[in-house]
A and B are shown apart, each in its own frame.
Chain A
Amino acid sequence: MRIVNPSFGLMPPEAEQISTRPVDWVHDPIVLFSNSKPNARELLEGVRDKLGEIRNVDDVGFVYKDSASQPAPAAIIDQVSGKYRVALLALGD
């Protein structure tokens, strides 16, 4: 029996190819990015406090999505990618 594969799909031509250079965790600017679920912010703030053991945390930024259920607005992503070398995301429930 010959069937059409119901899971067949084509990779989009613009599929991302992302390359990154190594991160300097002590000096590179870091942002903490919350998915806005309960306790995500508190978790990231706790991590920031502990990051103080290895780096200056005065320049560690914090951003969050407007809504836990919606994607982060492009403006926030652009802002983060332009300003920071590392985004530490909290994902989960």
Chain B
Amino acid sequence: MQDDVEELEVLEIGDLDFDQWNEYAIEQGWSDGMPLLPPTETAVARFTAVSRGDNEPFPPISPRRVIPTLDSLAANAVMAGCRPEYFPVVLAALRGVLEPDYNLHGSLATTHPCAPVIMVNGPLRKQLEINCSSNCFGQGTRANATIGRALELILLNIGGAKPGIMDRSTQGSPAKFSFCFGENEEESPWEPYHVRRGFSASDSVVTVMSGEPPHNINDHASFSAEGILTTISQSIAQPGSNLMYGKGPFMLVLGPEHAATLKRDGLSIGDIQQEVFQRARVHVSRVSKENQREYAGADRFPENDYYTVCPGPEDIHVAVAGGPGKHSAYIPSFGGTAVCSVRVSQPA
């Protein structure tokens, strides 16, 4: 159905109960595999009412290259299980992935298992009860689960990123269901991420990156910045990562306890970026000869026998999230992508 852009915006589908509706929706190819709420006109109207002030037009969504309407976007947010007040965050996330540098088409068509990673900053985190603390990457919070899911459904249904056809990921990842969290600004010893990117602290900002699920970095024993940086850097330096092409950014999401130790030992965000950039390198002995030849063909060579994992320190995006515990995470990107931040447009 979604190949036909002449289709109708409103559909009469008969009197279906919840199970019948879901069978119908799955048949249409609208589902991520889990049940969906029906996007009735009434439900959709409640969502669009929240975003009526957001009149900036959307560009076509790749790979299908059609322009969404506010109603069709809202229909996906309804199906995902969002509350209406989440909708402006979903729209900001969509605007982020539609920025040209994000490379939405490449990130959807690739065999790499990337998905849109959504991080929320600012006051809306609290208003919407977005989980920024314990288990923030995991299950259990409606906002985290459904905002990420809504964006994925939009890319599937309007963008046309059908798994196996337009979405060519070799193995996919659980992040393709939903990957949304908030920065734990309250427990960060540094300025919030969005403020460092030039936004006001009172702005609510959505940051997106085409990335993998989080990779855990466990360090319970190190009690110094030196020790934690060693563990973090060696965990990031992996020869099988897409970061090995040296083209893209990545996110380093520090747990509050690791962050506190780094801050106590005097490190700024810039220091962390610089240290990790210098230390997270892959020795040539860990890289196959074939890969070394491939990199050389793209004019990429090791420096003093080590490959860097990103173009520069500024490509390491540091944030703080999570709850108590000695864990942090890094989130490798697809590579050919950029980290894009968009202010949430809130109704007047």
Contact = CB atoms under 8 A, between A and B. Distances in A.
Interface of A: 1-12, 15, 36, 38, 41, 66-71, 93
Given A2-B40, A67-B336, A71-B106, A9 B11 contact: no
Nearest to A10: B67
Given A10-B66, A69-B247, A4 B74 contact: yes
Contact of B298 (A1, A2, A36): A36
Given A1-B15, A1-B40, A70-B247, A6 B66 contact: no
Interface in B93-128: 103, 105-106, 110-112
Residue among A1, A7, A15, A67 having the largest count of chain B Cβ atoms under 10 Å: A7
B30 A7 contact: yes
B174 to A, nearest CB: 22
Contacts of A5: 7-11, 72, 75
A7 B1 contact: yes
Nearest to A12: B60
B67 A3 contact: no
A71 B242 CA distance: 17
B20 to A, nearest CB: 10
Interface string B315-348: 0000000000000000000111100000000000
Contact of A69 (B44, B71, B103): B103
Most buried by B among A38, A66, A68: A68
Contacts of B9: 4-5, 8
A2 B41 contact: yes
A70 to B, nearest CB: 4
A11 B14 contact: no
Contacts of A10: 5, 66-69
B21 interface: yes
A1 B72 contact: no
A1 B247 CA distance: 49
Contacts of A3: 10-11, 13, 38-41, 75
A4 B39 contact: yes
B158 interface: yes
B76 interface: yes
B28 interface: yes
B76 A6 contact: yes
Given A11-B66, A71-B105, A4 B5 contact: no
A93 B109 CA distance: 12
B144 interface: no
Interface residues of B, number: 56
Given A6-B79, A8-B9, A36-B298, A1 B106 contact: no
Contacts of A8: 7-9, 68-69, 71-72, 75, 158
Contacts of A38: 294
A4 B72 contact: yes
B65 interface: yes
A3 B16 CA distance: 11
Nearest to B334: A69
Given A69-B103, A69-B335, A71-B105, A7 B39 contact: no
A70 B112 CA distance: 13
Given A1-B38, A2-B13, 18 more contacts: A1-B40, A2-B10, A2-B12, A3-B75, A4-B39, A4-B41, A7-B30, A7-B72, A8-B69, A8-B72, A8-B75, A9-B5, A9-B60, A67-B298, A67-B336, A69-B103, A69-B110, A71-B105
Nearest to B77: A6
A70 B335 CA distance: 9
Nearest to B6: A11
Contacts of A6: 30, 39, 72, 75-76, 79, 153, 157-158
Contacts of A15: 65
